[in-house]
């Protein structure tokens, strides 16, 4: 009897706790949630302030989600915009890893209500150019199946850049020119431009598929491990060994199985097989390859890892968990081109 009594008390306590959580849970529709990214000085924070209607920098709105990314919530609560660290466009590799960390954290979190709906890639219009970092971000969004829009900030009516951006990013949900602040020229005041259109574009681009969001949340454990690993790699020496280790972690933590139609395989086995095949391509003669040539295996593994990671992310996001032959062929070909220019081997004698 005592045991049954204690069990009843425990069940009642758990039920009360669950009910309290439900009462505290936010009600109503999910707020529009976006990650705003771009280079330092492009106008991300100014854009966010204009959209939410107050200066987030003065109110220190939100708590950092990652090292330098924090949420800014509109006063009505119907919009949450994540302000991210300014990305250095000169280092596309670091940009890729930092954005990967943010997107995995915010798109694949345990709470589906907090998932970002879209990524806004800001490019400063007066600068007048699109860098490798911008295309890296767009490719990452496509791999992880996150809608993205191109925002040309500080617009001065550069229609040529807008036309170029539409060709450069054909899969972008939209390209929108925006000026977040009013412009004063002498006594003439030109109002802010494009903000309402940007909101309309953003709302039209997002999907509220609750089943997809629930599936992403169910896969949050591996995604969060990779988010930490990506940020760690971005802040460490960008070595071949580090990239090889990162790819191995991604393979394991994201539940990858192998190459489609060839059965399950672990990363070390697949990496070794691809490394051996690459050696044959670089040095076709058997005796020269096996007896005379010394290969830098870490170089081979690192180049392959850098080019296979995007495919691993893509197959995690589309839930197949298997690379395709075209994934492997493309990565292999790109790595081979790079290694052919800077040979990863030398004569033993």
pLDDT tens by residue, the chain, 349 residues: 555 555 555 555 554 544 444 445 556 789 999 999 988 888 888 899 999 988 875 444 445 444 568 899 998 889 999 988 777 655 668 888 989 999 999 999 999 999 999 999 999 988 778 888 889 899 999 999 999 999 999 888 778 899 999 999 999 999 999 998 877 777 777 788 899 999 999 999 998 788 899 999 999 999 999 999 999 998 887 799 999 999 999 999 999 999 998 888 899 999 999 999 999 999 999 989 988 899 999 999 999 999 999 999 999 999 999 999 999 999 999 999 999 888 898 887 7
206 and 328 fall within a common domain: no
pLDDT digit string, tens, across residues 141-199 = 999 999 999 999 988 877 889 999 999 999 999 999 999 887 777 777 778 889 999 99
Q: How far apart are CA 308 and CA 302, in angstroms?
A: 10
- Among residues 165, 182, 217, which one ends one of the domains? 217
106 and 209 fall within a common domain: yes
Task: For residue 62, give the nearest of 47, 79, 50 by alpha carbon.
Answer: 79
Q: What residues contact residue 88 under an 8 Å CB cut-off, 6+ apart?
A: 39, 40, 94, 95, 133
pLDDT digit string, tens, across residues 56-66 = 754 444 454 44
> 40 lies in a domain?
yes
> 5 lies in a domain?
no
Residue 327: what are its φ and ψ, rounded to 5°?
-60, -50
59 and 165 fall within a common domain: yes
Q: What is the pLDDT of residue 57?
A: 55
Tell which phi-psi region holds residue 5, choosing left (phi > 0), alpha (psi between -120 and 50) or beta: alpha
The CATH number covering residue 60 comes to 3.40.50.300
191 and 277 fall within a common domain: no
- Among residues 217, 249, 276, which one ends one of the domains? 217
Rg for the chain (alpha carbons), in Å? 24
Q: What is the pLDDT of residue 348?
A: 78
Tell which phi-psi region holds residue 60, choosing left (phi > 0), alpha (psi between -120 and 50) or beta: left
Residue 55: what are its φ and ψ, rounded to 5°?
-90, 105
- Among residues 156, 182, 217, which one ends one of the domains? 217
Number of domains in the chain: 2
Q: Quick one: how many helices (H) and strands (E) in the chain?
A: 14, 12
> 20 lies in a domain?
no
- Provide DSSP, 186-199: TTEEEPPBSHHHHH
Q: Which residue range forms the structural domain that includes residue 148?
A: 32-217
């Amino acid at each position: 009897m005592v045991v049954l009594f204690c069990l009843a008390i425990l069940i009642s306590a758990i039920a009360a706790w669950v009910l309290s959580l439900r009462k505290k849970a936010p009600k109503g529709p999910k707020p529009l949630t976006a990650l705003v990214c771009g280079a330092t000085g492009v106008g991300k924070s100014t854009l966010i302030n204009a959209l939410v209607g107050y200066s987030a920098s003065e109110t220190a709105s939100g708590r950092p989600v990652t090292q330098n990314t924090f949420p800014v919530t509109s006063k009505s609560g119907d919009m949450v915009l994540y302000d991210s660290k300014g990305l250095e466009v000169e280092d596309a590799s670091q940009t890729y890893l930092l954005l990967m960390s943010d997107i995995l954290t915010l798109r694949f979190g345990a709470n589906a209500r907090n998932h970002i709906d879209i990524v806004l890639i800001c490019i400063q219009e007066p600068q007048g150019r699109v860098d490798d970092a911008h295309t890296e971000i767009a490719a990452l969004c496509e791999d992880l199946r996150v809608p993205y829009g191109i925002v040309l900030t500080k617009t001065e009516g550069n229609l040529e850049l807008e036309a170029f951006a539409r060709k450069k990013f054909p899969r972008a949900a939209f390209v929108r020119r925006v000026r977040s602040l009013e412009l004063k020229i002498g006594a003439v005041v030109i109002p802010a431009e494009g903000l309402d259109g940007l909101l309309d574009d953003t709302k039209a681009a997002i999907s509220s598929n609750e089943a997809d969001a629930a599936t992403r949340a169910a896969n949050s454990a591996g995604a969060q491990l990779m988010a930490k690993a990506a940020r760690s790699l971005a802040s460490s020496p960008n070595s071949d060994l580090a990239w090889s280790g990162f790819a191995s972690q991604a393979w394991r933590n994201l539940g990858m199985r192998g190459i489609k139609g060839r059965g399950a395989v672990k990363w070390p086995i697949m990496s070794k097989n691809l490394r051996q095949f690459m050696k044959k391509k670089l040095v076709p003669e058997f005796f020269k390859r096996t007896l005379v040539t010394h290969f830098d295996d870490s170089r081979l593994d690192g180049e392959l890892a850098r080019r296979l990671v995007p495919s691993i992310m893509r197959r995690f996001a589309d839930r197949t968990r298997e690379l395709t032959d075209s994934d492997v062929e493309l990565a292999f070909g790109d790595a081979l081109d790079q290694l052919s220019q800077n040979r990863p081997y030398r004569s033993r004698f």
